[in-house]
Amino acid sequence: MAPLLPQLDGVLFDCDGVLVDSERITSRVWAGLLTGYGMPTTTEESLATYLGNSMARCLEIVEDRFGRTPPDDLLPRFYADVKVALATEVTPVAGIVALLNALEIAGVPYGVASNGEHDKMRTTLGATGLLPRFEGRRFSAVDVARPKPAPDLFLHAAQVLGFDPSRTIVVEDSPLGVRGAHAAGMTVIGFAELVAPERLLAAGAACTVAHLSHVLPLLVPAPASAS
């Protein structure tokens, strides 16, 4: 299989759902809090509705869906509850450690660009042992004017890391993230673990994978076999 780009400067990963298996945990906590405030929400509904959004956008969606302003303590309670849940439950996404190891061996630099806050990334990446691998290479929507699906975060990360957007590949698991990376002029691999491949392709992904073990052949040439 030929790599997606003939020249590759580096790779940007989304965090939740791509590096760390956190989406189900955060969606469960969010749904439980909304339900407790009289806004009934299942974990599945939370995943389908809020996946990939910044927390500011999540509050807007809550107001749109339920016709009332979210309680003032919703976010503080969520941050407190989800930090405990993530610290004790989160695991690396299957295949990510092997993929990062392979990129390092191949000399391909990488970073993380997430709509999540820095504190959340420190919690999840720290709990999974991935935090040291992203020192100086963690970028959050709070660093830029507009979160995904705007391209701002991806362009900011590329500028800091010295990546040409046209030679950057992004691994994303949400349509919002795919749209943002595509708008930044980057090539996107859709990780179709929680979202149907068709939705990621429609958002602008060049292709999709069902497991992270399928990503490396799309990034670097396969080593030549011995004759």
Identified catalytic residue from 9, 16, 119, 152: 16
Per-residue tokens: 198: 């068709």
**Catalytic-residue membership of 14:** yes
What's the rounded Cα separation, in Å, for the pair 78 and 75?
A: 5
What's the rounded Cα separation, in Å, for the pair 112 and 171?
A: 10
**DSSP E strand boundaries for the chain:** 10-13, 110-114, 138-140, 168-172, 187-191, 207-209
**110-114 and 10-13 strand pairing:** parallel
Sign of CA pseudo-dihedral 73, 19, 42, 49: positive
Identified catalytic residue from 9, 14, 64, 164: 14
In the three-class reduction of DSSP (H, G, I as helix; E, B as strand; rest coil), residue 108 is classed as coil
**207-209 and 187-191 strand pairing:** parallel
Active site positions, annotated: 14, 16
